[in-house]
């Protein structure tokens, strides 16, 4: 069985670390990036099976990164899970057109929800 990899792109270091710990315990290989620019480089380096993405980050935001990901045919299939503080403020239609599989609100979610969301995205 292939070990699946997940890239977490989030400027919240504590939460990214918590997600990483839980995903690693669940058997995933996890890579981290702190912003969209690092995320683009990390996608090219690690070729993740799934991406967890914050939308509101300093510099280029997550929407810019989504557009970049979907403009490359070799990355268009990678499922993206958006996890943000302001999920209610994001028009879901905008995310659906970029292939976002799940939107999680950091405020109301439990950290274990991320493992379930990744598993669902990879099935």
Global pTM value: 0.91
Residue 79: predicted pLDDT: 93
Class of 5-121 per CATH? Answer: alpha beta
Q: CB pairs under 8 A, 24+ apart, for 57-66?
A: 57/9, 57/10, 57/11, 58/11, 59/35, 60/35, 60/36, 61/36, 62/9, 62/36, 63/94, 63/98, 64/36, 65/9, 65/36, 65/39, 65/40, 66/95, 66/98, 66/99, 66/100
Count other C-beta atoms under 10 Å from residue 75's C-beta. 18
DSSP code at position 55: S
Confidence at 60, pLDDT banded by 50, 70, 90: confident
pLDDT, tens digit (0-9, with 9 covering 90-100), for 28-43: 999 999 999 999 999 9
The percent of residues above 70 in pLDDT, for the chain, comes to: 91
- Give residue limits of the domains in the chain: 5-121
Q: What is the mean pLDDT of residues 45-67?
A: 90
């Amino acid at each position: 069985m292939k070990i699946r990899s997940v890239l977490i792109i989030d400027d919240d270091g504590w939460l990214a670390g918590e997600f990483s710990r839980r995903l690693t315990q669940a058997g995933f290989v996890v890579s981290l990036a702190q912003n969209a620019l690092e995320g683009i480089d990390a996608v090219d380096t690690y070729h993740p099976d799934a991406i967890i993405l914050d939308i509101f980050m300093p510099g280029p935001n997550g929407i810019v990164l989504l557009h970049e990901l979907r403009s490359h045919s070799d990355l268009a299939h990678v499922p993206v899970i958006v996890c943000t503080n302001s999920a209610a403020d994001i028009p879901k239609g905008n995310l659906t057109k970029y292939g976002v599989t799940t939107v999680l609100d950091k405020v109301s979610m439990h950290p274990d929800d991320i493992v379930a969301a990744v598993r669902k995205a990879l099935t």
